[in-house]
Amino acid sequence: GAGVSQSPSNKVTEKGKDVELRCDPISGHTALYWYRQSLGQGLEFLIYFQGNSAPDKSGLPSDRFSAERTGGSVSTLTIQRTQQEDSAVYLCASSLRSAGYEQYFGPGTRLTVT
């Protein structure tokens, strides 16, 4: 079966522009996570969706970051007014159920803000 897919794989944008990153989780997985991986850093948790519950947004670094998950499936991470420090690889993961279950990661979107 298909794994987690993310698009685009690479995105170059100018400082100040908005970007949208997409994640298609594994079918049937109710939990979805977004992480950010900067050079030399581990994965930084951003946001977590579980079923129809309110998302855990505690990892979002600023109000320029937002995410939604439509129909319990596809998720979009939006970064408004991008800054150079937003440059990183953005990874999405899904798991069958909530915390504690194995997370399956997508290949990531490499965002470069010039």
Partner 1 sequence: TQLLEQSPQFLSIQEGENLTVYCNSSSVFSSLQWYRQEPGEGPVLLVTVVTGGEVKKLKRLTFQFGDARKDSSLHITAAQPGDTGLYLCAGQYGTALIFGKGTTLSVSS
- State the residues that interact with partner 1 by CB under 8 A: 4, 33, 35, 40-45, 48, 50, 56, 58-59, 91, 93, 98-100, 102-108
Closest by Cα among 37, 25, 10 to 110: 10
Sign of CA dihedral 47, 56, 63, 73: positive
Least separation, in Å, of the C-beta of 85 and partner 1? Answer: 17
Q: Which is nearer to partner 1, 20 or 56 (CB)?
A: 56
Least separation, in Å, of the C-beta of 16 and partner 1? Answer: 28
Q: Which is nearer to partner 1, 82 or 94 (CB)?
A: 94
Residue pair 37/59 in contact by the 8 Å Cβ criterion: no
Q: Which is nearer to partner 1, 35 or 65 (CB)?
A: 35
Least separation, in Å, of the C-beta of 70 and partner 1? Answer: 21
Closest by Cα among 3, 2, 5, 1 to 75: 5
Q: Which is nearer to partner 1, 4 or 79 (CB)?
A: 4
